[in-house]
Homo-oligomer: A and B are copies of this chain.
Amino acid sequence: MDLKISNKMQVVRGSVIRQMAEAAASRKNTISFANGNPSSDTFPVEDFARFAADSFRDDPNSVLQYGLSQGYPPLIEAVKARLTQKWGISFEQNDLLIVSGGQQACDFASKVLLNEGDVVIVEEPSFASCYNTFRSYGAKLVGVPMQPDGMDLEKLEQALKDYPQTRMLYIIPSFQNPTGFTTSMEKRKKIYALAQAYQVAIFEDDPYCELRFAGEDIRPIKSLDTDGRVLYAGSFSKVMAPAFRLGFLVFDKALTTRMIVSKQCTDVHSSLLFQHIAHRCMTQCDYQAHLALCQDVYRRKSNLMLSELKKTLHPSIRCSQPEGGLFLMLFLPEGMDSMPLVWEALEHGVVCVPGSGFMIDQDAPNNGIRLCYSTASEDEIVRGAYILGNLSQKWMEKAGF
C-alpha cells in the first residue's frame, strides 16, 4: 500500500485501558477494576424497553427517519432546564447540541477551535482518549499536575506563560478520571480568571457530575462564564447507558453554526430512539430518584473498596477519597513505577490500569493505579482489595518502605 497516514494520526497513541481490558479478557476469572463502565445495576432496563416499544408503536418514523442535527428539541429543552435549575447555567447567550457521547463533545470542541500546532493544557493524569482527540487535530499537549483540589495553579499559570500558542484548557472538574479528585470552587474561579487573562477556551468535561454521593455540589466553571469561553460537555453514558452514545455540549451562541456543521460533517445527528428514551427518562420517570439510586450504588461500592483497602494496603500508599463518580486512585510513593505491581496483580487475577495510561508520555514511569469500583460485585471488591493489599505489602517491603 502506498497510502500515507496523515501527520496528525501518526501521533495518536493506543489506549492502555483497552490493552489492560484485552489482557484481562484473555484470562479466566479475573476481577476487573479496569473498565470505567457504569454499573449495570443502575440501568433502568424495563423503562428503556417500555419507552423503546412505545416509540416504535406510536410514531416509528420519528425514531427511524433522519432527524435534526442539533438534536431532538424536547430533549434539548429538558437538558437545558436541568442545567439551569441544577447548575446555574444560563441559555441566554449559550446554546446546546446533542452529541454522540462526551467523546464527540471533545471532538467538536477541537474541530471548531483548534489549529495544527495549537497547545492544549491538560490535567495530568487525565482521560487519555481526549488527549488523542486533541492530537488528532494536530494539537500539542502540555500537562499540569493534578492535586486533590484540582490543577496546580502555579504550574498552570507558568504553562500559560510558557506556551503563548495555548488555545484551550482541558478540565474534568468533578470526580476526575482517573484520580477521583474534584476541583474546588476556589480553584474553578481562579482557573476561569486565568483563562480570561490568557484568552484561552476551557473545555469542561463533566460526565460524572450527577454521581456525587458525598459532600456538597460545586457548580461547573460554565456557570461562571460571562464571556463565552467555556465549552461544557455532559453525558448520558454514566446516568443512563453508555451504548446510547448520547451526551451534550454547551457553548456560546457564536459557535452554533460551526457546531451544527461539525455534526453534519461527522454523523449528521445522534440516534433518535435513544434521544426519545433519554427525554422520557428525564420527564416521565422520577429522574431524581433514578440518580439517587445511581449515587447509592457508587457510594456503597466506593466505601466498601476504601474500607477493604484500608485493611491490607501498605501505609506508604496514598489513596484518593472520591465524593462521587466511578474511580479512585492509589499513589505509590513518589518516583516508584506502578507498572510491575499492576502486572503482578493481573497474574493474581486483579485487573487495574497503571497511571502511565493517563499521562501524555505513556512510556514514562508513573506511581498511580486507577481502580474502578463501579462494575465489580461487592464480593469481587472485597477479594480484589485483599489481593491488591497483600501485593502492596510485599512490594513496599521489597522496596524498603
Q: Determine if A244 and B265 form an interchain contact, defined as CB atoms under 8 angstroms apart.
A: no
- A237 surroundings in chain B (CB, below 8 A): 66
Among residues of B, the one whose C-beta sits closest to the C-beta of A99 is B267
Measured in the bound complex, the distance between the Cα atoms of B350 and A352 in whole Å is 61
Instruction: Verify if A285 is at the interface (C-beta below 8 Å from B).
Output: no
Number of copies: 2
Among residues of B, the one whose C-beta sits closest to the C-beta of A54 is B49
Instruction: Verify if A387 is at the interface (C-beta below 8 Å from B).
Output: no
CB distance from A46 to the nearest CB of B (A): 8
Contact residues, A107-142 vs B (CB, 8 A): 107, 111-116, 129, 132-133, 136-137
Measured in the bound complex, the distance between the Cα atoms of B12 and A8 in whole Å is 20
Instruction: Verify if A292 is at the interface (C-beta below 8 Å from B).
Output: no
Count of chain A residues near B, Cβ 8 A: 79
- A64 surroundings in chain B (CB, below 8 A): 40, 43, 45, 48, 241-244
Q: Determine if B266 and A104 form an interchain contact, defined as CB atoms under 8 angstroms apart.
A: yes
Contact residues, A187-206 vs B (CB, 8 A): 199, 201
CB distance from A67 to the nearest CB of B (A): 6
Instruction: Verify if A264 is at the interface (C-beta below 8 Å from B).
Output: yes
Among residues of B, the one whose C-beta sits closest to the C-beta of A259 is B9
Q: Determine if A49 and B56 form an interchain contact, defined as CB atoms under 8 angstroms apart.
A: yes
Q: Determine if A66 and B270 form an interchain contact, defined as CB atoms under 8 angstroms apart.
A: no
Closest 8 CB pairs of A and B: A49-B56, A1-B228, A64-B241, A100-B267, A243-B272, A45-B60, A133-B265, A66-B242
